[in-house]
Structure 1
Amino acid sequence: MFTVYVIAPIFQTISLSLYAWDGLSPARYIGLHNYAELYHDPDFWLSLKNNLIWLFGFMLAIPAGLAMALFLNQAVFGIRLIKALFFFPFVISQVVIGLVFSWFYDPSNGLLFHVLHFFGISPVAVLSDERFVTYGIVAAGLYPQIAYCMILYLTGLNNLRSDLIEAARLEGASGWQMLVKVVLPQLRAATFIAVVVTIVGALRSFDMVSIMTQGGPYGSSRVLAYYMYEEALSEYGYRMGYGAAIATVLFLIMLVYISMVLFRIYKQEKEHG
């Protein structure tokens, strides 16, 4: 099943990227022409830049999720209800989150408008300003991603070895020392999953861009996945080979980042026996 639905399509996409094809007429082999065109395509480089912004912005979800998990890992009255409220963003549809944040950023009557007005700051049209639009969409995407990382860390915190915690306390460890020396090493598995899922989520970002801006204004919020869709499947393109070349580049970027994470974790495991 994995070979049929994952491995084979990857090689099919790489193969398709070497052709010019509109999806209907016979495909024509053009070699690396699509990649040469990508190299000189300013829209591709802008999309890649936005993907990097997504990547570095999304990495904030990991420490934020850990902080929230540590906060919620308390045995106090009502904590289950609070956990449910923090978990809520993860189960909401991305479409709903995109629409809610679009209303939040509304420069005429959104919540952000009222907050800025309260502090005497002129309203900012976040989704209409080329300088802020990508950061605004990343903030919307972080909302459910932080909740997901929080769930991973909560699961990890529930499986901590109590004997190590007690031994560290007897040795006088507390606060930051306890977190860095005892807790975080036991959360390596959760951290690994959080990093990989966050990297993949950032690089394949599509739905938020589609819902909130459709790549605008003037294509300034495009990411590689959305640009691939525009070129290959929308009325603007039907260039399947060119879209496959964009998808191949995106796949290779994901492969490099995830390989780096795997190599680093492998080295850490080797160092710790």
Structure 2
Amino acid sequence: MAPACIVFAVYVIAPIFQSIWISFYDWDGIGVSTWVGLGNYAELFHDDTFYTAIGNNLIWLVLYFLALPAGLLLAIFLNQTVTGVRLYKSLFFFPFVISQVVVGLIFSWFYAPDFGLLYRLIRTLTGAEVAILADERYVTYGIIAAGLWPQIAYCMILYLAALNTVSKEQIEAARIDGAKGWRMLLHIVLPQLMPATFIAIVVTIIGALRSFDLISIMTKGGPYGTSTVLSYFMYEQALSEYGFRMGYGAAIAVVLFLMMMALISGFVWRMMRDGKVGH
């Protein structure tokens, strides 16, 4: 394991501490850095865009968890003996294998005014003209819908693989005892799917908090910054026309990292406490 540990330390652990160190400086990434201590954090907590980004990240986090039950239901359906099941599996698996850039472009066309399918459907049914990506009320939810498409496919794959490991003996014993339907799912199947659920939750938390690709492709944080999240806000401050504020961008990255670690660590601790994760 030594080579893997060395690579992990050099390319993951060291950059984390380096980012924390940079967050204490005013630095443009090229010239001389100036020590500002907690100045970047003080400015950050007085920045309205920061709170908009956190609010959007929380919306992403809550709605992204819809991928778990949706993925589970699809996996249960595809695990049955159904005519054409291989075709269905391919169709549902497709969103996972295409890039986020392609997903963003597809949904941008789907929402587009004048020729977008959803735009025309809403106009036909209600008479209203709704440009999802240009409306402050709907833009975040429109991007999340695009993100959920491949995320549901990923959860489906996890659960589909896990369903093959479910004990048939327990299923038969439960049937003999009269269990079926929701009782079978809740008391027999789901407990055996906890390892897959654990992975799905962790990956979903990470995916929701580091959402960047779709926002960059679909809105660039607009309209008027209302769809921005912490990862895109960090990019804007550190690597865009805002002046290459590497220290300020690093401070945003540290806050995002701490949020992610707090959520994942709390979830892992609770799972281990309840004995739902194998030792």
Normalised-by-shorter TM-score class: over 0.9
- Measured after TM superposition, the shift of residue 80 of structure 1 is 1.1
CA deviation vs aligned residue, 1:152-189 (integer Å, no higher than 9, x gap): 00001011111111111111100011000000000000
Q: State the Cα deviation string for residues 180-205 of structure 1 (Å, max 9, x = none).
A: 00000000000000000000000000
4+ long deviations beyond 2 Å: 270-273
* Matched residues, number: 273
Could you tell me how far apart the structure 2 residues matched to 1:39 and 1:120 are? 42
Question: Within 1, Cα distance between the matches of 2:278 and 2:160?
Answer: 24
Structure 1 partner of 2:33: 27
Normalising by structure 2, report the TM-score. Answer: 0.95
User: Counterpart in 2 of 1:244?
Assistant: 250
Percent identity between matched residues is 63
Partner amino acid for 2:251?
A: A
Which residue is equivalent to 1:119? 125
Superposed, which structure 2 residues align to 1:201-216 within 5 Å?
201-216=207-222
Is the Cα contact below 8 Å between 1:47 and 1:222 reproduced in 2?
Answer: yes
1:270, 1:84 → 2: CA distance?
Answer: 32
CA contact (8 A) 1:156 1:190 kept: yes
Q: Mapping of 1:97-116 within 5 angstroms?
A: 97-116=103-122
What amino acid sits opposite 1:39 in the alignment? F
Within-5 A mapping of 1:1-273: 1-269=7-275
8 Å Cα contact 1:230/1:237 also seen in 2 = no
Q: Shift in Å at residue 120 of structure 1?
A: 2.8
User: What is the Cα-based RMSD across aligned positions, in Å?
Assistant: 1.4
Report the TM-score, using the length of structure 1 for normalisation: 0.97
Structure 1: runs of 5+ lacking an equivalent: none
Paired residue type of 1:71: F
Contact map agreement 2:20 2:254 (CA 8 A) in 1: yes
What SS does the corresponding residue of 1:269 show, helix, strand or coil? coil
Q: What displacement does 1:215 show?
A: 0.7
Hey, what's the Cα distance between the residues in 1 that align with 2:140 and 2:228? 8
Answer yes or no: is the 8 Å Cα contact 1:47–1:227 preserved in 2. Answer: yes
Q: CA deviation at 1:211?
A: 0.0
The alpha-carbon deviation at position 267 of structure 1 amounts to: 1.8
